[in-house]
Amino acid sequence: MPTIWFCVVAVMVAAYVVLDGFDLGAGIIHLIAARTDGERRTILRSIGPVWDGNEVWLLAGGGVLYFAFPSLYASSFSGFYLPLMMVLWLLILRGIAIEFRNHIESLAWNPLWDVVFSGASALLAIFFGAALGNVVRGVPLDRAGEFFLPLWTNFLPGADPGILDWYTVLVGVCSLLTLTVHGAMWVSLKTEGEVEARAQRIAGRGLWALAIATIPLTIASFQIQPRLAQSFAERPWGYIFPLLAVTGLAGMQFSNGKNALNAFLSSSLFIVGMLTSVVFGVYPYVLPSNTDPALSLSITNASAAPYGLWIGLAWFIPGIALALGYFTFVYRSFAGKVKTTGDGY
């Protein structure tokens, strides 16, 4: 059961990154792909019906984490208190930027919220990437399973790390590039004309930067976290996950500018491949220790009681089925290119 719930959490995190990732990416390119107020409205309309629903996966993932791995939830939410508060404020600022943008007709009002929307989206991409980097690198857990990290120390991933060091910053930059490309491909899929063409150019340039950045990221990850090499050596079938990422990267390069849907699906495949590679590599740890592997939180010492996990699974299945049905309905209802006329955003 702990392994099943480990996989459930991984799937929900991947779903959040794929779904909310494209509207974060749309925010990142908002000031670049759109030049006029009408074009910026068009980008906002491309995510308008779904952006807040996509964030449900973040809440649901946190809820599942609290239920299935309470020790991990308690440890990570206290140890990462400062960055979590920053992420919360960025989510708030991003949400109110979308909703407040058109409440007042002013030469200063709309541009102000456009900058807030774009800046908060970019910073969220970086912080989420840095969070993933902290999980891969490990944190200084004590025997009680607790830790605290300052925002930074000496920028070295040693025994006294901060949330930000050269490795987590590298992961954050790669996350920014990934979601920029992902969002550009979504905007290309949902828009027409100049906005679509600019989004395709942004995606094309971002792809080269992403492909180059992925190489040092992969090398550094295997050096920072020895568990990755050990996992792939013990279970060679896991190489299917990096293969998914490579296939997605190639598919993006081939489809961008030719088939917007295939390009977006390839981008989603790349994200899923990268995240599942990390999950496979750190298993059975849910939060490694960077000082003593014996102090790491794993699926065994961080999970809830077996009976509770069984009961939770019985309730989770119909609940997730309803959520999937809702998302299917919403995305089918708003399929196709967005309209550039009418009220809203």
Task: List pLDDT tens digits, range 8-44.
Answer: 999 999 999 999 999 999 999 999 999 898 899 999 9
Write down the pLDDT at residue 46: 92
Residues 6+ apart with CB under 8 A from 90: 120, 123, 124, 127
pTM to 2 decimal places:
0.93
pLDDT in tens, 159-182: 788 899 999 999 999 999 999 999
Write down the pLDDT at residue 343: 56
Write down the pLDDT at residue 342: 56
Main-chain dihedrals φ then ψ at residue 17, nearest 5 degrees: -65, -40
Mean pLDDT of 283-303: 90
In the chain, % of residues over pLDDT 70: 98
Asked whether residue 338 carries a pLDDT value surpassing 80, the answer given is yes
pLDDT in tens, 102-117: 787 777 888 899 999 9
Write down the pLDDT at residue 159: 76
User: Over the chain, what is the mean pLDDT?
Assistant: 91
Which residue type is seen at 2? Answer: P
Write down the pLDDT at residue 67: 87
> What is d(CA 167, CA 297) in angstroms, rounded to the nearest whole number?
21
pLDDT classification of 237: cutoffs 50, 70, 90: very high
pLDDT classification of 288: cutoffs 50, 70, 90: very high
Q: Which residues face 298 on adjacent strands?
A: 285
Asked whether residue 148 carries a pLDDT value surpassing 90, the answer given is no
Write down the pLDDT at residue 341: 62
SS (H, E, C) the chain: CHHHHHHHHHHHHHHHHHHHHHHHHHHHCHHHHCCCHHHHHHHHHHHCCCHHHHCHHHHHHHHHHHHHCHHHHHHHHHHCHHHHHHHHHHHHHHHHHHHHCCCCCCCCHHHHHHHHHHHHHHHHHHHHHHHHHHHHHCECCCCCCCCCCCCECCCCCCCCCCCECHHHHHHHHHHHHHHHHHHHHHHHHHCCHHHHHHHHHHHHHHHHHHHHHHHHHHHHHHHHCHHHHHHHHHCHHHHHHHHHHHHHHHHHHHHCCCCHHHHHHHHHHHHHHHHHHHHHHHCCEEECECCCHHHCEECCCCCCCHHHHHHHHHHHHHHHHHHHHHHHHHHHHCCCCCCCCCCCC
Asked whether residue 195 carries a pLDDT value surpassing 70, the answer given is yes
pLDDT classification of 144: cutoffs 50, 70, 90: confident
Write down the pLDDT at residue 292: 86
> What is d(CA 6, CA 245) in angstroms, rounded to the nearest whole number?
21
Mean pLDDT of 62-75: 88
Write down the pLDDT at residue 335: 85
